[in-house]
């Protein structure tokens, strides 16, 4: 099974957003990854509803919305209305995570939980069966173009083993510093969805890079 590739709109050229969206539409990308940052949960501010609605207007693929914000519960319904297909909230930002996940499902979206590099996978044990996706951050969230943290590989392996018992259909998405140099080992570890910002948008041909990531040959596929 080929991996899910979700180019991150954060790394697109915002002055040519429609052009970059059309590129993603006609590429082998599966999802649009939409990073929302509030300047509180992470030390950066990206964009909010108007940009998200503009993306939705042209995108013909699912919008995978990653909320790097405090109090995400306040905004779930609005992100669903703005066109999200899936909404991922941070474990570290939610006090009543089970309730938040229920709200995401009630809004009609797929539900994901993201964990920061320092957050142990085992903390997800009691929520795992309620999730469609876990997003494993392989950089500290807030900025594109950072260096992949190698410890992510063992976290993905541990999570896939836990999911085999509790939620075999779980999508494990990796976000941060992902590219052609590490996607194969991440697939072998058990991940099956990948966010790629810099790797795609700094490439000479972004659509070819998306295709190369999508069609990577993997020795021992475990998904």
Ligand X SMILES: O=C(CO)[C@H](O)[C@H](O)COP(=O)(O)O
**What are the residue numbers of the active site?**
35, 175
Q: Which is nearer to ligand X, 83 or 177 (CB)?
A: 177
Binding mask 100-139 for ligand X (x = CB under 6 A): ---------------------------------------x
Closest C-alpha among 171, 158, 114 to residue 138: 114
Closest C-alpha among 147, 112, 103, 160 to residue 6: 112
- Decide if residue 55 touches ligand X (CB under 6 A): no
CA pair distance 62, 175, nearest whole angstrom: 17
Q: Are the C-beta atoms of residues 116 and 138 closer than 8 Å to each other?
A: no
For tokens 């996706």, what's the residue?
Answer: 133
CA pair distance 50, 62, nearest whole angstrom: 17
Binding mask 153-172 for ligand X (x = CB under 6 A): --------------------
Q: Is 66 annotated as a binding residue?
A: yes
Numbered residues of the known binding site:
8, 33, 35, 66, 142-145, 175-177
Q: Give me the residues that bind ligand X (CB under 6 A), please.
A: 8, 10-11, 33, 35, 66, 139, 141-146, 175-178, 195-199
């Amino acid at each position: 099974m080929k991996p899910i590739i979700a180019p991150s709109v954060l790394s697109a050229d915002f002055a040519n957003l429609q052009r970059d969206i059309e590129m993603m539409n006609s590429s082998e990308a599966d999802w649009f990854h939409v990073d929302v940052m509030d300047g509180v949960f992470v030390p950066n501010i990206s964009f909010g509803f108007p940009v998200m609605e503009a993306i939705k207007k042209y995108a013909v693929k699912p919008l995978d919305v990653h909320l790097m914000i405090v109090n995400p519960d306040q905004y779930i319904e609005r992100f669903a209305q703005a066109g999200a297909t899936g909404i991922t909230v941070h474990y570290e930002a939610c006090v009543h995570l089970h309730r938040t996940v229920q709200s995401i499902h009630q809004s009609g979206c797929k539900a994901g939980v993201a964990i920061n590099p320092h957050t142990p996978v085992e903390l997800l044990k009691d929520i795992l069966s309620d999730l469609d996706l876990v997003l494993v951050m392989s950089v500290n969230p807030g900025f594109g173009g950072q260096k992949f943290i190698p410890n992510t590989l063992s976290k993905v392996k541990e999570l896939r083993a836990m999911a085999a018992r509790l939620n075999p259909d779980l999508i494990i998405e990796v976000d941060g510093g992902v590219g052609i140099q590490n996607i194969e080992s991440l697939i072998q570890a058990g991940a099956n969805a990948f966010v790629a910002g810099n790797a795609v948008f700094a490439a000479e041909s972004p659509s070819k890079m998306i295709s190369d990531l999508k069609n990577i040959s993997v020795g021992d596929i475990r998904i």
